[in-house]
Amino acid sequence: MTIEEKLDVVYKLRLLYNSGEELQELIGMKTRGNNSLSRKGGKSDFLKRAVFHELVYKCSEEDGLDLEAVLEEYATVTELIEKYRSVMASKAWKKNAMAHCGRLMEMLVFNGESKADAPVELRRFCDSLDAENTLQLALAVLILLEALPRKMSTRQGDAHNMRTKYEQVAEFFEKLCERNVLYERIPRLYLLQQALEDNGKALTRIRLIRLTCDVIGNLSILATADQVALNGRWEEWNQLWPDLDGCWLGEKHSQKTPDFWEVEELRNGYRFIHYLRKNGEEGILHQQHFTFTFHQNTESYVCILHPKSIDCWLNGKKLDEEDVTYQYFTLDNLEHPKEIFFDPFIYEVAWFQTKKLKRTELGLAELTKGIYKIIDDFEEYAYQFELCLEAITPQYIYIKDSLLGVNHCVSVEKYGLENCTLGDAIGIITRGQKRYLAFDNQMVYIELEQP
């Protein structure tokens, strides 16, 4: 596309602003007319490129998208839709657009269903899309749901009813999640729904595209236990392992109101144990433990799991948003930090309200001096995990059971354990009276029969 065409498309699609007037105010000149930016022979090429460069920068900084890539993929998707226009523009298709988009996601993201019973045009459309390109998939879904214009040369004018469009897209993904993912509501869908409550930022089309990209990317790694395991393997590569072992003081800690943490490094993360006093109980402390994993890619964040999440994993239930929180974190030193700062960005939960922890040289014995009783608030979620991997072969994985004096033989093919390695957390979990063969990295748990 020429620079004039790019500016014209940005204006017509109302991507960054919901009205032409807003865009006009930003650039300080008319967007239409004989001497407009989108007309050849109008303003100078230098000025046109400067304006477009500013729009690209704004799109990248505020919405995290490459505007040039958005225009390129928008052109690709609209050309494909036009190719199958005879079907995709029909009233019958539009009436069932949500169902058709659901099938599209199942075929391209979840890879769980055969394409055989899908409409032939949808199958051909899916075959033409790049399943690895989340931006392309996001645009396809949004255009087919009519949350975005079907043509880049649209004459729809200003973008109206954007709140309704956001709600429609959120509803689509909510229904999709009910049957396809391990979470009740995936983290990035939470951000899409949160956008509806954010009165400080406009509900624009470009923002909707970015949020939809995030949701689809999230779905592709949280769809099944196998996909979570594959993502988990990738997450291990960008997982951080600062030296956190020891005791830390919370921001409210004092002699009268103890508020401190003991941290222990584990195989797959860290155990953070919180000690606090409730209701002024003298000589008594309450204990609560959580699992932390620290990560860094484009952002530094920590995933914090409530111990009751173990019930979800062991029993094949969906993880509720009350069981997990994602927080931005800052360390004053990446190797041996003395302070940790937290700031929630997905799922604010009542059970973790800590904003700052400060390392102390005091040990647990000193911090609990004068305490005669410690109550474990999460005793009902307690379990033991014994690492007892014996061997891995192409066909089977062997786990040594010291209690029964046998080796359990687990089929690699049956349970999708092809990605297991000798360094994985593999063993036996004992929870109450039940015991499970556990492949923690793969999130596969097999209940053992009672002896």
434 DSSP β-pair partners: 431
Residues 164, 218, single domain; the answer is yes
**Predicted local confidence at residue 113, as pLDDT:** 55
Residues 212, 334, single domain; the answer is no
Output the six-digit token pair for 246.
């020891």
Please enumerate in sequence order all residues whose Cβ is within 8 A of that of 179, keeping only pairs 6 or more positions apart, or say none.
none
Cβ(80)–Cβ(129) below 8 Å: yes
Residues 18, 142, single domain; the answer is yes
Asked which of 380, 410, 426 is the last residue of a domain, the reply is 380
Q: How close are the terminal C-alpha atoms of the chain, in Å?
A: 71
> Is 282 part of a structural domain of the chain?
yes
* DSSP letter (8 states) at residue 318: P
> Is 137 part of a structural domain of the chain?
yes
- How many Å separate Cα 427 from the centre of its chain? 28
Q: How many whole angstroms separate alpha carbon 69 and alpha carbon 82? A: 20
Cβ(187)–Cβ(144) below 8 Å: no
**Count of domains forming the chain:** 3
Residues 96, 214, single domain; the answer is yes
- Residue 289 to residues 165, 195, 260, 317, 379, Cα–Cα distance (Å): 41, 32, 12, 21, 10
Phi–psi pair at 448, nearest 5 degrees: -90, 145
Within 10 A of 355 (CB to CB), how many other CB atoms are there? Answer: 13
**Predicted local confidence at residue 143, as pLDDT:** 93
Asked which of 327, 353, 380 is the last residue of a domain, the reply is 380
Residue 123 burial (10 A CB sphere; 0-12, 13-18, 19+): middle
> Is 36 part of a structural domain of the chain?
no
**Predicted local confidence at residue 49, as pLDDT:** 84
Residues 170, 280, single domain; the answer is no
Residues 408, 363, single domain; the answer is no
> Is 69 part of a structural domain of the chain?
yes
Residue 310, amino acid: I
Q: How many whole angstroms separate alpha carbon 222 and alpha carbon 211? A: 16
Residues 395, 360, single domain; the answer is no
Residues 212, 74, single domain; the answer is yes
Residues 54, 73, single domain; the answer is yes
Output the six-digit token pair for 72.
């390129």
Residues 295, 398, single domain; the answer is no
Within 10 A of 64 (CB to CB), how many other CB atoms are there? Answer: 13
Residues 219, 248, single domain; the answer is no
- Residue 451 to residues 175, 388, 400, 408, Cα–Cα distance (Å): 42, 19, 15, 13
Range list of β-strands (E), 371-433: 373-376, 384-387, 389-392, 396-401, 406-411, 426-431
Output the six-digit token pair for 409.
């033989």
Asked which of 223, 256, 288 is the last residue of a domain, the reply is 223
- State the helix-helix crossing angle for 120-128 and 97-105, rounded to 10 degrees: 50
Residues 293, 422, single domain; the answer is no
> Is 34 part of a structural domain of the chain?
no
pTM: 0.61
> Is 260 part of a structural domain of the chain?
yes
**What is the maximal distance between C-alpha atoms in the chain?**
87
Residue 208 burial (10 A CB sphere; 0-12, 13-18, 19+): buried
> How many residues are given for the chain?
451
Cβ(446)–Cβ(399) below 8 Å: no
Whole domain around residue 410: which residue ranges?
384-447
> Is 348 part of a structural domain of the chain?
yes
Q: What is the DSSP string of 48-92?
A: HHHHHHHHHHHHHHHH---HHHHHHHHHHHHHHHHHTHHHHTSHH
Q: How do the pLDDT tens digits run along the chain, 451 residues long?
A: 888 888 888 888 898 888 888 877 776 655 555 445 555 555 577 788 888 888 899 888 888 899 999 999 999 999 998 888 877 777 877 888 888 888 888 888 776 555 556 677 788 888 888 888 989 999 999 999 999 998 888 888 888 889 999 999 988 888 887 765 555 556 667 778 778 887 767 899 999 999 998 888 777 655 555 555 445 544 555 788 999 999 999 998 998 889 999 999 987 789 999 999 998 788 899 999 999 989 886 678 888 989 988 888 788 776 677 888 888 899 999 889 999 999 887 777 889 999 999 999 999 999 999 888 999 999 988 888 899 999 999 999 999 999 899 999 999 999 888 888 888 889 999 988 899 999 987 778 999 987 6
